[in-house]
Structure 1
Amino acid sequence: MQNIKLNLHRLQQLLDEVRAEDLHLAPRGPAAAAAGGTGCSRSGAAPPVSYMHICETESFSMGVFLLRGGACIPLHDHPGMNGMLKVLYGTLRIACMDALPAAAAPPPPAPGPCLRALLRSRQHYTPASPPCLLSPHSDNLHQIDAVDGPAAFLDILAPPYDPEHGRDCHYYRLLDGPPAGAEPALPREVWLLETAPAADFWCGGEPYPGPRVCP
């Protein structure tokens, strides 16, 4: 266990040192961001989010997500997975939640597959911020919003998504939001409804321009 903690700490330190220029990336203006991305387009529109695949093994996956200004990666989970997210440019607002045991939850407020969760934090991350971490039991659900322009982040998941082994991505919608004009204190318990991704969210693909990563 001590070795795992030391290795995790070392990985955090290394990831904290990564900059956009190390991956041959540069911040994009609104025009460039709107033109970027290939595949998965709808009605000729550029995707709000694009993904640059770097590498994937049985143990981990690594890639870069690029978000247009105002784009959002909807609330989703990472079942049984650990992850690190490092902002390369721009500003992200990340809301992190923990799933709560079903036995401790009251009846859901709506029919359908509902999940009780603890909304733990809602923070802004920039390239100067340390990596955002998630584990199977902490901050495993999160929503990512680009704030004040385009943004990009390096994403590492261990192990990677694999539906055949129970690691499939699920999307959720917050059922009980705060009253209009209010920002309640955190942490607080919330209800989530499992749902399909929003109609205005899809992910395109772009070639990765940076150095080759050898697992």
Structure 2
Amino acid sequence: FFPGNLHRLQQLLNEVRAEDLRLSPRGPSAVPGLAQPPVSYMHICETESFSMGVFVLRAGACIPLHDHPGMDGLLKVLYGTLRIACFDAPDGGAAGAGAGSATSAGAPSSGQPPPARSRRRALLRSHQLYTPASAPCLLSPHTDNLHQIDAVGGPAAFLDILAPPYDPEHGRDCHYFRLLDGQSLPPPAADPPGLPKEVWLLETAQAADFWCGGEPYPGPQVSP
């Protein structure tokens, strides 16, 4: 039942275009009294079961590596080009849930790993470019649950659906990460050599240069 509905949703989402949501290529709108945010969010709708909205990124903006504990999600590029790196934890859990207390045998060769409490082991599964012609990027509670999103070559926007939505009171809070020093992402490719690849992540605070503004959604109303 779920796989069939998910496949149908992917098909429908693949047909959505920027003009359907009355969007035209641009970066985030400026916030009165503040600088232009690197990213802004257009809220469409939210229930206890899912959230839907549009993220708008200015050229060169990055949504840092983060997780989606216990969630399924779909991301569909509406305009521009996104570079997306997707990770999951080898034990099938979200990184923010404390996965990755492995020994130094799996640590990168650049040096000793940090204390287990601050590091997380993860599996880099893909690093690809996505455009409006691409199929939606899919994440599940166990696969591709962590991702980093960069706008390349200009502003970009994507439609984002999460089920269920973030809810810190129910253990679905967002955690941020970065690659352990000495590691880097391979060049983006449809099938990068050497992937999937085990990596080490450090959980971090939200980056000081990353914040998300809000702006009105101009498209047709969606009734859950």
Q: Which residue of 2 aligns with 1:48?
A: 38
Partners of 1:155 and 1:180 in 2: how far apart? 25
Tell me the percent identity. 75
Give the direction of change, closer, same or farther, for the CA distance of 1:15–1:72 in structure 2 (3 Å limit): same
Q: Which residue of 2 aligns with 1:27?
A: 25
How far is 1:113 from its partner?
2.1
1:132-151 aligned at under 5 Å gives the runs 132-151=137-156
Partners of 1:196 and 1:114 in 2: how far apart? 13
Long gaps (5+) in structure 1: none
Question: 2:124 touches 2:199 (CA, 8 Å); kept in 1?
Answer: yes
**1:71 corresponds to 2:68:** no
Question: 2:127 touches 2:186 (CA, 8 Å); kept in 1?
Answer: no
Partners of 1:166 and 1:9 in 2: how far apart? 27
Q: Which amino acid aligns with 1:82?
A: D
**1:153 corresponds to 2:153:** no
Q: Which residue of 2 aligns with 1:87?
A: 77
Question: 1:178 touches 1:184 (CA, 8 Å); kept in 2?
Answer: no
Q: Which residue of 1 aligns with 2:10?
A: 12
Q: Which residue of 2 aligns with 1:105?
A: 102
Q: 3-state DSSP class of the match of 1:50?
A: strand
How far is 1:99 from its partner?
1.3
Q: Which residue of 2 aligns with 1:177?
A: 183
Partners of 2:103 and 2:128 in 1: how far apart? 28
**1:196 corresponds to 2:205:** yes
Question: 2:119 touches 2:201 (CA, 8 Å); kept in 1?
Answer: yes
CA deviation profile, 1:29-51 (whole Å, cap 9, x unmatched): xxxx26x1437x7xx32100000
Give the direction of change, closer, same or farther, for the CA distance of 1:206–1:189 in structure 2 (3 Å limit): same
How far is 1:197 from its partner?
1.6
Long gaps (5+) in structure 2: 92-98, 108-112
Question: 2:87 touches 2:122 (CA, 8 Å); kept in 1?
Answer: yes
How far is 1:100 from its partner?
2.4
Aligned CA-pair RMSD: 2.1
**1:210 corresponds to 2:219:** yes
Partners of 2:158 and 2:173 in 1: how far apart? 21
Question: 1:37 touches 1:205 (CA, 8 Å); kept in 2?
Answer: no
Q: 3-state DSSP class of the match of 1:5?
A: helix
**Length, aligned pairs only:** 204
Q: Which amino acid aligns with 2:123?
A: L
How far is 1:187 from its partner?
1.5
Q: Which residue of 2 aligns with 1:38?
A: 31
Q: 3-state DSSP class of the match of 1:8?
A: helix
**1:58 corresponds to 2:43:** no
How far is 1:179 from its partner?
9.6
